[in-house]
Amino acid sequence: QVQLQESGPGLVKPSETLSLTCGVSGFPVTSGHYWAWVRQPQEKDLQWLGSMYHDGTTTYEPSLKSRVTISRDTSNNHFSLTMRSVTAADTALYYCARVFGEFLSFDSWGPGILVTVSS
């Protein structure tokens, strides 16, 4: 059974770079369809940030494309999110998820990590 776990700093200063890692167990990140990052400001909407296909190609939410990069480490079976030039508006719960199946649904999620942007 696939399991995902986000890790990274819970506090980032404005204008700096947010870096999160999603550790995956039970399924190789080089398989499946996509691996995704989603965020949720407190009690607000879910926002898809970007995804990495199992071959390493990436796609991003257009409004964030200039600030976001998703990468992977196949030897450690994890994938990562980097978001540059953060502001308070980037404060949110960040989730990683596996995208699977014909209808590209997010069938497995990590528990989430709260990232606060503050000086």
Partner 1 sequence: DIQMTQSPSSVSASVGDRVTITCRAGHNIRTYLNWYQQKPGKAPQLLIFGVSTLQSGVPSRFRGTRSGTEFTLTISSLQPEDFATYYCQQSYSTWTFGQGTKVEMK
DSSP-assigned letter for residue 110: -
| 10 forms part of the interface with partner 1 (CB under 8 A) | no
Residues 19 to 58: which contact partner 1 by CB under 8 A?
36, 45-48, 51
* Nearest distance, CB of residue 13 and partner 1, angstroms: 26
Handedness of CA 74, 72, 9, 5 (dihedral sign): negative
- Between CA 89 and CA 87 the distance in angstroms is 5
| Closest among 41, 39, 91 to 70, alpha carbons compared | 39
Least Å distance between CB 67 and partner 1? 17
Single residue of 10, 57, 75, 103 touching partner 1 by CB under 8 A = 103
Interaction of residue 16 with partner 1, rule CB under 8 A:
no
Is residue 115 within 8 Å of residue 91, measured between CB atoms? Answer: yes
- Residues within the interface to partner 1 (CB under 8 A): 36, 45-48, 51, 59, 61-62, 95, 99, 101-107, 109-112
